Amino acid sequence: MTDDVLISIDGPTGRLSLNRPKAIHALNTGMCRAMLAALVDWRSDPAVRLVMIDHAAGRGFCAGGDIRALWESGGGDGAIARDFFRIEYQLNHLLFTYAKPVMAFMDGITMGGGVGISQPAKYRIATERTVYAMPETGIGLFPDVGAGWYLSRLPGRTGPWLAVTGARIDGADCLALGLATHYVPSGALSQLKADLVARPGDIEGVLAAASATPPESKIAGWRADIDRLFASDRYEDILAALEADGGEWAAAQRATLATKSPQACKVSLRELAESLRLTDFADEMRMEYGIGTKVVQRHDFLEGVRALIVDKDNQPRWEPATPEAVTDHLIDTIFAPLDPAEAWEPYRG
């Protein structure tokens, strides 16, 4: 087990509290393994009626996965990265299929891996401090941890927009899109948790009493532009639409996309289109694992992490450098199924 996640039982509630404040609670393999083991134990424990996932201290819920460790592994044989993806995705899948109610507190930064452990929860609590994003295209990666499933099922074309731009949205936006189920002021969270422990049979009532009306969502004002300009699953079509629009919002989106990996953007659009056709979340994770194990050893991920996280020069040199140079054959190669002996499978223990 690990001190990076605090595991406890409080009355009828199992608690998973992320505890890496200096890393904004970024997930590592040990944390995922420990949470997976606890959830398996609690699954058959009649005393545990609710699972809460939150962070123990510091700012942010979870900033994602341990990207530097993935980068170091991807530059070598990739074995550590594959092990991390396998365990993390098993955790994501177990949460998605968990029979007992799970509640995630998306208080603060909720990105990458933090999305993966909050979106499967039946109850997803946003606050005025929530900052939600899947920013992977900026480091040559793609929205994983089940994000293909979640983003592809958002209203209109908000999912593809979030996937390729890595846009940051707030708690009000999360509630408006259905990424959050409730909006609770951060100052009320401690009392909410205490009330849930005291009244485990009235989760809905406790949440209703604690919930507040959020500010107006910005997404509503952008929806028409998002649906129109991001209508295509072809990346070149999106770029052309943004360039032809002439508006300030479109120009801002085009400028953002100019910083992203063309390969990663094409992978993301293909992922969401494929995800929408799937009916089993296990197939989603199987597909994402196949993509992830290849992408983590490709140039754009190694270069993106170098530029944004390691050297911090913010000048990644993408290869291929242009969307047109990212061929359909290249994307097909990334999406090719793994050999059955290497493929991801749900936790069977």
Question: Of these residues, 60, 74, 108, 113, which one is catalytic?
Answer: 113
44-49 mean pLDDT: 96
> Is residue 98 one of the residues assigned to a domain?
yes
Lowest mean per-residue pLDDT among 37-41, 54-58, 228-232: 54-58
Q: Write out the H or E segment, with its range, that includes residue 79.
A: helix 79-97
Q: Which residue has the tokens 């991920």?
A: 301
> Which residues face 106 on adjacent strands?
126
Residue range 229-250: mean pLDDT, rounded: 97
Q: At what angle do helices 248-257 and 158-165 cross, to 10 degrees?
A: 50
The verdict on residue 223 lying in a domain is yes
Model pLDDT, residue 27: 97
Do the Cβ atoms of 182 and 175 come closer than 8 Å? yes
User: Which run of H or of E encompasses 203?
Assistant: helix 203-210
Number of domains in the chain: 1
CA–CA gap between residue 191 and residue 195 (Å, rounded): 6
Give the span between the Cα atoms of 137 and 141, in whole angstroms.
5
pLDDT tens, residue by residue, 177-208: 999 999 999 999 999 999 999 998 999 999 99
CATH number at residue 101: 3.90.226.10
Three-class SS state of 105: strand
Structural domain that includes position 51: 5-335
Q: Is position 260 within any domain?
A: yes
144 is catalytic: yes
User: Contact 266/326 with Cβ under 8 angstroms?
Assistant: yes
Q: What is the DSSP letter of 49?
A: -
φ, ψ of residue 13 to 5 degrees: the values are -120, 125
Whether 346 is covered by a domain: the verdict is no
pLDDT for the residue 59: 84
Question: Reading across the β-sheet that carries 169-170, which strands appear in turn?
Answer: 109-111, 131-133, 169-170
99 within some domain = yes
Question: Other C-beta atoms within 10 Å of 345: how many?
Answer: 14
66, 88, 107, 144: which is the annotated catalytic residue? 144
Q: How many CB atoms lie within 10 A of CB 8?
A: 11
Residue of 107, 136, 271, 284 marked active site: 136
Q: Is the pLDDT of residue 1 over 80?
A: no
Which tens digits make up the pLDDT trace of 286-327? 999 999 999 999 999 999 999 999 999 999 999 999 999 999
Whether 251 is in a domain gets the answer yes
In a domain, 311, yes or no: yes
Measured distance CA(289)–CA(283) in Å, rounded: 10
Does residue 133 form part of some domain? yes
User: Which residue type sits at 105?
Assistant: F
Whole-angstrom Cα distance, residue 315 to residue 299?
14
Average pLDDT, the chain: 97
